[in-house]
C-alpha cells in the first residue's frame, strides 16, 4: 500500500511541476506581449517628435502611420488582456496541483503513522506477554 501511495504522491508532484512550467512559459509569453506593446508605444512617441509639420504630405504620412500604430497597439492590448486570463487560469491550475500534491503527501504520512502505531502496539503486546510470563515463572518458583 505504501508503494501505491508513494506513486500517487510522485504523480501529483510531477503534475504540479508540469503546471508550474506551463505557468512560467505563459508568463514569459505575457512579458513578451507587454514588451511588444511598449515598443509600439515607443515607436509612436518617437514618430511624434520626429515629424515635420511644414509639409502636408509628411503630416498625412505621419497621421497614417500613427493610425496604423494605434490599431496595432489596440490589437496588442487585446491580446495581452486575453492572454492574461490564460495566465490566471494556469496560475489556478498550479494552485490546484499543489493542493493535490499536499493531499497525497498527507495521506502518505497518515498511512505511515498508522503502520508505526500498529508496529508499536504489536511490540507492546510482545513486551507485555514477556512480562506476564516472567512474573508467572517467578511466582511459580516461589510456590
pLDDT, tens only, 84-119: 999 999 999 999 999 999 998 999 999 999 999 999
Q: With bands split at pLDDT 50, 70 and 90, how would you rate the model's confidence at 137?
A: confident
How far is Cα of residue 16 from the mean position of the Cα atoms in its chain? 6
**What is the DSSP secondary-structure string of 13-63?**
HHHHHHHHHHHHHHHHHHHHHHHHHHHHHHHHHHHHHH--SS-HHHHHHHH
Burial of 121: CB neighbours in 10 Å, binned 0-12, 13-18, 19+:
exposed
Q: Check pLDDT > 60 for residue 4.
A: yes
Closest by alpha carbon to 87, among 7, 23, 34, 35?
23
Q: Check pLDDT > 60 for residue 44.
A: yes
Q: Check pLDDT > 80 for residue 51.
A: no
Q: Residues of the chain with pLDDT > 70: what percent?
A: 93
Residue 134 has a pLDDT of: 80
Amino acid at each position: 500500500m505504501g508503494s501505491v501511495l508513494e506513486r500517487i504522491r510522485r504523480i501529483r508532484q510531477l503534475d504540479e511541476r508540469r503546471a508550474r512550467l506551463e505557468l512560467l512559459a505563459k508568463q514569459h509569453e505575457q512579458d513578451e506581449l507587454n514588451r511588444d506593446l511598449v515598443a509600439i508605444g515607443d515607436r509612436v512617441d518617437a514618430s511624434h517628435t520626429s515629424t515635420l509639420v511644414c509639409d502636408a504630405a509628411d503630416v498625412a504620412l505621419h497621421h497614417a502611420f500613427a493610425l496604423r500604430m494605434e490599431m496595432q497597439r489596440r490589437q496588442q492590448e487585446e491580446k495581452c488582456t486575453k492572454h492574461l486570463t490564460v495566465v490566471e487560469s494556469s496560475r489556478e491550475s498550479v494552485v490546484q496541483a499543489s493542493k493535490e500534491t499536499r493531499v497525497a503527501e498527507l495521506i502518505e504520512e497518515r498511512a505511515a503513522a498508522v503502520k508505526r502505531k500498529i508496529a508499536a502496539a504489536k511490540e507492546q503486546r510482545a513486551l507485555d506477554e514477556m512480562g506476564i510470563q516472567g512474573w508467572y515463572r517467578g511466582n511459580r518458583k516461589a510456590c
